[in-house]
Homo-oligomer: A and B are copies of this chain.
Amino acid sequence: MNIEKLKAILEDVKKGDLDVGDALDKLRDLPFKELGHSKVDMHRELRKGYPEVIFCAGKTVAQVKDIVGSMLDENINILATRASEEMYAAVKAICYDAVYSEIAKTITIKLQETIIPSSTISIVTAGTSDIPVAEEAAVTAEFFGNKVDRVFDVGVAGIHRLTHTIDNIRAARVVVVVAGMEGALPSIVAGLIDKPVIAVPTSVGYGASFGGIAALLGMLNSCASGVSVVNIDNGFGAGYIASMINKL
């Protein structure tokens, strides 16, 4: 669209409908706006029909509603993370198609179809309390147009549960592993497969888990190759990167 606008200006200049001086005026601010839009361009392949993402934490219900409202005009898909039920009610009021995940705390609005690759993203958790973060990753990955295979509650205390499902995990193109407490699961998984593992430490735990630091350190110090790490509880970030890799 912006490329269209830029093209239109150039066409007008070519046709003589637009003076070079006036064109310069129009373009004066464009480079930066254009920069924004050329960034969109550059990202075109990724973002075509893609959701924009709103990080709701620290925003008011009214702010979230306003941002969603202004986006609806552009007819694009929308993903809002860390959204409360109140935020969802406000968004639902202006867009009936909005969908809320209570566990992932996400609002999604799908106005355009996305092309979905045949390969899968596997999202694995160590325990049941890691599931909200894993669901944030899963909803994110699905919304960007990926097939997701959920493998929950296969933590290292009962390693046999992992071995039961390892074939499914191996079948994926990229694996997100979500774990709290000692954060050992990504190492185990990475030692058993040959695909990139995105590790997400969670703030699950107590005592000396320090709100996820123990898990974060465990993952950073993984003795298995192929593990990279995102911030504590950052399910969105993991889902986003997994989508990037799955769509390469």
Residues of A whose CB lies within 8 Å of any CB of B are: 3, 6-7, 10-11, 13-14, 16, 20, 23-24, 27-43, 45-47, 53, 57-59, 63, 126-129, 155-161, 163-164, 166-167, 170, 173-174, 181-184, 187-188, 190-196, 198, 201, 203-210, 212-234, 236-238, 240-241, 244-245, 248
Contacts and interface: CB of A to CB of B under 8 A. Distances in A.
A76 B200 CA distance: 34
Given A20-B10, A31-B160, A160-B31, A213 B224 contact: no
B225 A240 contact: yes
B221 A163 contact: no
Contact of A208 (B45, B57, B190, B231): B231
A184 B156 contact: yes
Contact of A163 (B35, B59, B204): B35
5 contacts: A39-B158, A42-B193, A159-B191, A206-B231, A229-B230
B218 A205 contact: no
A229 B223 contact: no
Contact of A167 (B29, B161, B204, B227): B29
Nearest to A21: B7
B223 A157 contact: yes
B35 A224 contact: no
B206 A57 contact: yes
Q: Which of A24, A157, A166, A167 has the most CB of B within 10 A?
A: A157
Nearest to A239: B225
A39 B159 contact: yes
A248 B193 CA distance: 13
Q: Which of A37, A224, A233 has the most CB of B within 10 A?
A: A224
B191 A156 contact: yes
Contacts of A195: 244, 248
Contacts of A174: 248
Q: Which of A34, A205, A233 has the most CB of B within 10 A?
A: A34
A228 B228 contact: yes
B10 A181 contact: no
A231 B193 CA distance: 20
Contacts of A184: 156, 182-184, 187-188, 218
